[in-house]
Amino acid sequence: MAEALRVGIAGLGNVGASVARVLRDKAAELTRQCGRDVIVTAVSARDQKRDRGVDISAATWFDDPVEMAQIAEIDVFVELIGGDEGPARLSVKAALEAGRHVVTANKALLAKHGVALAEIAEKRGVLLNYEAAVAGGIPVIKTMREAMAGNSVTRVFGILNGTCNYILTRMEAEGISFDACLKDAQRLGYAEADPTFDIEGHDTAHKLSILTSLAFGTRIAANDIYMEGISNISQADIRAAGDLGYRIKLLGVAQRTDSGIEQRVHPTMVPTASVIAQVHGVTNAVAIETDILGELLLSGPGAGGNATASAVIGDIADIAKSRPGFQHGPVFGRPAKELKPYKKAQMRSHAGGYFIRLTVHDRIGVFAAIAKRMADNDISLESIVQHAVNGEAAAQKTVILVTHETTEAAVRKAVDGITKDGHLTDKPQVIRIERAG
Ligand SMILES: NC(=O)c1ccc[n+]([C@@H]2O[C@H](COP(=O)([O-])OP(=O)(O)OC[C@H]3O[C@@H](n4cnc5c(N)ncnc54)[C@H](OP(=O)(O)O)[C@@H]3O)[C@@H](O)[C@H]2O)c1
């Protein structure tokens, strides 16, 4: 049998401790699958005294993950610390430069420094594997990097944040407000004490930027993503969506267009009958659309110690199965030096259907004025419905418009016009409609 693969784990929190535990519990199975033993020889975290729920006493302890990254006694450095700078970045860089394979679950690090790190890995002829960084346990990186050769991706989109999907699912199922759902999510441990990063779309954007690079062979451009979170989605939107045959999901979407690549994260209406609309709670899903394959949808657990550990261990096993001298495939599907610059498609040229919900004064001429603003901007309407606001028969009305395909620029101009006309009693709500099978 080949020599054992020696693993060093930096970070023994939620994911790191799960990885150590599964490597111990499934040692015999992994040996059979990989043709060699996989053993943890070194570990690093901040607090050596903390009980990790797994016996790590046989591994050498390091206070400094950068030091551990460079020792000769490991073949693979597994980074599970988190953060886009500091010890995570320094240790991954040091490990790659020292010729160690690296496995990481760190989307923030890859979104910011992925291409630079890939260049080092490819120069040193080692692997940089990151399956767990996007959609947790779902093997989407492997699928895009290895199983779709020859396919040209036209669009990739997904539910990439379990916290947002949990909140939207409960808002719809139980008719409760965003704030009440968020509080519950925090109590149950599905949302952080400071939830901004998740609910405003940043986490989804990090993951999307990695998928965009794999899909279109472009350099990662995490700062060039149009982003709207879910904090202003109300029960009125959820009910109206349901009446119209839609469900609201926070999607990350990357799409090739004539003018470049769109990268956008926003609440989206998807047809209730579509497969992605059936993805509930903390579950994640990624849809990939290509010229040869058509549409593929992968769904499963997007977070949690064990699910994430499953992806990390899959990455470690790939390294265990690779043989010395074997030429590894490039980190983002194409050699890092050949990744093209990201050409951004302007959001204002985005084409699609739109849902527009307006709360207006109930007076003569308002309906006609709205219809005129739409017509002036060449927006054709699929439906227009008006009804009283919460039984307040007199003062205000809700007008709900669904457009046929139009552009973002046209919708913004029309809604600005309606706002200037002075008929609105509340902020207008605009939600994009996404085509989904
Ligand atoms: N949790 C998930 O469901 C999930 C899903 C997908 C991806 N990820 C990614 O996985 C990574 C880890 O997440 P997690 O949830 O496991 O985080 P976590 O529970 O906060 O664990 C972080 C670990 O890093 C250690 N650490 C922090 N600073 C360190 C330093 N300077 N030197 C050495 N060790 C240090 C901590 O040590 P102490 O324990 O001693 O404090 C802790 O063990 C992140 O990149 C995250 O984005 C997580």
CB-based contact 287:135 (threshold 8 Å):
no
- CA-to-CA distance for 35 and 428, rounded, in angstroms? 61
CA dihedral 173, 174, 178, 183 (to 10 degrees): -120
Q: Which residues pair with 264 in a beta bridge?
A: 226, 253
Quick one: pLDDT at residue 390?
63
Nearest CA owner, ligand 1 atom 47:
106
pLDDT bin (cut points 50, 70, 90) of residue 112 is very high
Q: Which residues pair with 62 in a beta bridge?
A: 44
Best residue for ligand 1 mutational test, from 308, 310, 312, 315 (most atoms within 8 Å of Cβ): 308
Distances in whole angstroms, Cα of residue 46 to Cα of each of 10, 88, 359 = 10, 13, 53
- CA-to-CA distance for 265 and 262, rounded, in angstroms? 10
Section 261-282 average pLDDT: 97
Looking at residue 132, the DSSP 8-state letter turns out to be G
pLDDT exceeds cutoff 70 at 392:
no
CB-based contact 113:89 (threshold 8 Å):
yes
- Is residue 260 classed as helix, strand or coil in its secondary structure? strand
In this predicted model, what pLDDT tens digit does every residue of 219-235 receive, in sequence order?
999 999 999 999 999 99
- CA of 12 relative to ligand 1 center, distance in Å: 7
Quick one: pLDDT at residue 283?
97
- pLDDT, greater one: 377 or 437: 377
Section 274-283 average pLDDT: 97
Section 142-162 average pLDDT: 96
- CA of 11 relative to ligand 1 center, distance in Å: 5
Tell me the pLDDT of the chain averaged across its residues: 96
Tell me the two tokens of residue 418. Answer: 């309606």
Best CA proximity match to 338, nearest among 99, 115, 177: 115
Q: Which residues, at least 6 apart from 128, have a Cβ–Cβ distance to it below 8 Å?
A: 92, 96, 101, 102, 104, 117, 118, 121, 331
* CB-count exposure of residue 364 (10 Å: 0-12, 13-18, 19+): exposed
Helix (H) or strand (E) segment spanning residue 217? none
Q: What percent of the chain has pLDDT over 90?
A: 94
pLDDT exceeds cutoff 70 at 391:
no
β 246-257/153-159 pair status: antiparallel
CB-based contact 48:335 (threshold 8 Å):
no
Residues catalogued as catalytic? 207
Q: How far apart are the first and last CA of the chain?
A: 48
Q: What does pTM read for this prediction? A: 0.96
- Alpha helices by DSSP H, listed for 11-106, are 14-25, 27-34, 65-70, 86-97
* Residue 431 falls in which region: left (phi positive, over 0), alpha (psi -120 to 50) or beta: beta
- CA of 14 relative to ligand 1 center, distance in Å: 7
Q: Which atom of ligand 1 is nearest to the CA of 62?
A: 33
Quick one: pLDDT at residue 338?
97
In this predicted model, what pLDDT tens digit does every residue of 332-383 receive, in sequence order?
999 999 999 999 999 999 999 999 999 999 999 999 999 999 999 999 999 9
- CA-to-CA distance for 114 and 219, rounded, in angstroms? 9
- CA-to-CA distance for 69 and 10, rounded, in angstroms? 9
Q: How many CB atoms lie within 10 A of CB 171?
A: 22
Nearest CA owner, ligand 1 atom 44:
82
pLDDT exceeds cutoff 60 at 122:
yes
CB-based contact 315:134 (threshold 8 Å):
no
Ligand 1 neighbours, Cβ below 6 Å, are 10-16, 44-47, 50, 65, 80-82, 87, 105-107, 132, 136, 303-304, 308
Looking at residue 2, the DSSP 8-state letter turns out to be P
Tell me the two tokens of residue 134. Answer: 């996007």
CB-based contact 66:82 (threshold 8 Å):
no
Nearest CA owner, ligand 1 atom 14:
14
- CA of 261 relative to ligand 1 center, distance in Å: 33
Q: Which residues, at least 6 apart from 208, have a Cβ–Cβ distance to it below 8 Å?
A: 158, 160, 225, 252, 253, 254, 263, 265
Helix (H) or strand (E) segment spanning residue 251? strand 246-257
Looking at residue 218, the DSSP 8-state letter turns out to be B
Q: How many CB atoms lie within 10 A of CB 305?
A: 18
In this predicted model, what pLDDT tens digit does every residue of 4-47 receive, in sequence order?
999 999 999 999 999 999 999 999 999 999 999 999 999 999 99
How many distinct helices (H) and strands (E) make up the chain? 14, 17
Q: What is the CA radius of gyration of the chain?
A: 24
Quick one: pLDDT at residue 394?
59
In this predicted model, what pLDDT tens digit does every residue of 246-256 receive, in sequence order?
999 999 999 99
Section 192-202 average pLDDT: 94
